Amino acid sequence: MRSLIPHMFSRSRRNLARWFTLSMGSILVIFATILYFLEAKEQLRAFDQELYNTTQLMAAGVEDGLYQEQQRISLEDVPILGGEALPFDNKIIYARWYTPKKQLLQFFGVTPSEQLNNKLGFQTIELSDRNKQLRQLTVPVFQDKQLIGYLEIAASLAPVEETLWSLRLFLIVGVPIALSLIGLTGWFLGGMAMQPIRQAYEQLQRFTADASHELRTPLQAIRNNAQFALLEPIDPSQQQSSLENIDQIAESMGMLISDLLFLARNEGQLKLETLKLVNLVSWLEALVEEYTHSAKAKNLEFTSQFPEQLVMLRINPDLMWQALTNLLSNACRYTLSGGRVCLRVFFESRWVVIEVQDTGIGIPEADLPHIFERFYRVDSVRSRHTGGFGLGLAISQQIVQVHEGQIIANSRLGEGSTFQIKLPFTPTSSP
Ligand code: ADP
């Protein structure tokens, strides 16, 4: 099962990258196609405009009588081509004049038919021999509102084709490169998206494994005690002790399960409606009272130091109570008889610090970075002795974090430990 997980994550990552590439790629291809067709249309429009301007210039030349000296045909007002200095000159393949009766009058370029058969306006003509195209324009020419003939000119579409070919080449090379880049980005983004899910999954898996491991040991102990109690013949006092053991183990299993449920339920954000504005010092007095008694029972000296000023904090009192109880219980639990435990409140820049200090057995330096991890216990000898599951500090940390605070531990082996809960304090926290 475990080995399937990395495979599952990389498959999901691949799928994410694939879908990203597919969607972005489709958008890119559609966009490139639209761009190409718009450009083709624009190129043809500009070409047609130029061709049209050329016909206008040629027709105007005729109207002004520019070429009339070269007239070889007796019909009056029939235009004749000058044949030189034409605009658009080098691209014009042929030009033809027709009489108003559509009879050929004069031409240059390819020999045309005697009669004008073509429709008026623009036409694209395919040249079969060299796979090239011509753009032809046929227009009527008027002088003093009277039709004096028809002008037909054609120019090679090669410049337009060349521009469009360059654009096609750019897209043919550019689109696959862009698609590869999109694919890479998708893979990278997929990895980033999977990261928190993967972490959460691994955390959950570790937590489930730890929890089942923790439950397996007491379950086994219950079974052993039950089997022993069922043996015959048995001393009633031994049977009594086995049943008491079962009861004790079941109680501690109950505590473990409620801790686990607590961790699972209170993960994430704090509900705003659970927050209350609390006078920190008077709220802590109740805690002091409770722990003064239990410290006395263990022959510990319990003291407290609170600031004079009013400290109002918006907290979830039940959760914060639990967080502080865990710290104070640990301090009492891990401090030997005759030691001291102190609860303090003070300000540190924008934080209100609630500190629990003890003169207990302390925590080895190597264990200190791990003590907030779930099920982490400094050593099995301690935990067997104290009966903790290694969840208390994880719970406290979770509670402090949902209050947007910090929890810090300092300790020296054999000298004692200091735990600090830092909560954000702004003037608005006060009424
Ligand atoms: P537990 O329920 O086992 O005490 P915690 O999460 O509260 O679990 O603490 C984790 C470990 O950190 C404990 O096993 C204990 O060894 C160590 N620890 C916590 N608080 C103190 C302290 N005040 N002094 C010494 N060791 C401590």
250-262, pLDDT tens digit by residue? 988 888 888 777 7
- Mean pLDDT, rounded, for 108-129: 82
Q: What is the pLDDT of residue 90?
A: 59
Closest-CA residue to 326 (of 265, 251, 256, 397): 397
Q: Assess if residue 305 is contained within a domain.
A: yes
Ligand 1: does its nearest atom lie under 6 Å from the Cβ of 393? Answer: yes
In the chain, the percentage of residues whose pLDDT exceeds 70 is 87
- Mean pLDDT, rounded, for 275-289: 91
Q: What is the pLDDT of residue 302?
A: 95
Output the domain CATH number for residue 359: 3.30.565.10
Of 127-131, 162-166, 281-285, the one with minimum mean pLDDT is: 127-131
Give yes or no for a contact between 289 and 422, defined as CB atoms under 8 angstroms apart. Answer: no
Pocket of ligand 1, candidates 393, 397, 400: which has the most ligand atoms within 8 Å of its Cβ, to mutate? 393
Pocket of ligand 1, candidates 263, 298, 327, 330: which has the most ligand atoms within 8 Å of its Cβ, to mutate? 330
Q: What are phi and psi of 357, to 5 degrees?
A: -120, 140
Q: What is the pLDDT of residue 422?
A: 96
Q: Assess if residue 112 is contained within a domain.
A: no
Q: Assess if residue 326 is contained within a domain.
A: yes
- Mean pLDDT, rounded, for 86-114: 79
Does an H or E element contain 161, and which?
helix 158-230
Alpha-carbon distance of 68 to 79, in angstroms, equals 7
Ligand 1: does its nearest atom lie under 6 Å from the Cβ of 335? Answer: no
Q: What is the pLDDT of residue 262?
A: 76
Structurally, the chain folds into a number of domains equal to 1
In the chain, the percentage of residues whose pLDDT exceeds 90 is 42
When the pLDDT of each residue in the chain is averaged and rounded to a whole number, the result is 84
| Sign of the alpha-carbon torsion through 52, 62, 120, 84 | negative
Q: Assess if residue 421 is contained within a domain.
A: yes
Please tell me the distance between residue 388's alpha carbon and the centre of ligand 1 in angstroms: 8
Does an H or E element contain 96, and which?
strand 92-98
Check pLDDT > 80 for residue 402: yes
Q: What are phi and psi of 135, to 5 degrees?
A: -115, 125
Alpha-carbon distance of 394 to 356, in angstroms, equals 16
Q: Whose CA is nearest to atom 7 of ligand 1?
A: 392
One-letter amino acid for residue 63 of the chain: E
Alpha-carbon distance of 398 to 105, in angstroms, equals 98
Closest-CA residue to 407 (of 415, 418, 416): 418
Please tell me the distance between residue 303's alpha carbon and the centre of ligand 1 in angstroms: 21
Q: Whose CA is nearest to atom 8 of ligand 1?
A: 390
The sheet that has 406-412: what strands, in order across it? 301-305, 340-348, 351-358, 416-424, 406-412
Token digits for 320?
């914060």
Q: Assess if residue 37 is contained within a domain.
A: no
Q: What is the pLDDT of residue 82?
A: 40
Q: Which atom of ligand 1 is found nearest the CA of 390?
A: 8
Q: Assess if residue 208 is contained within a domain.
A: no
Check pLDDT > 50 for residue 1: no
**Structural domain that includes position 292:** 272-429
| Reported confidence tier of residue 322, pLDDT bands at 50, 70, 90 | confident
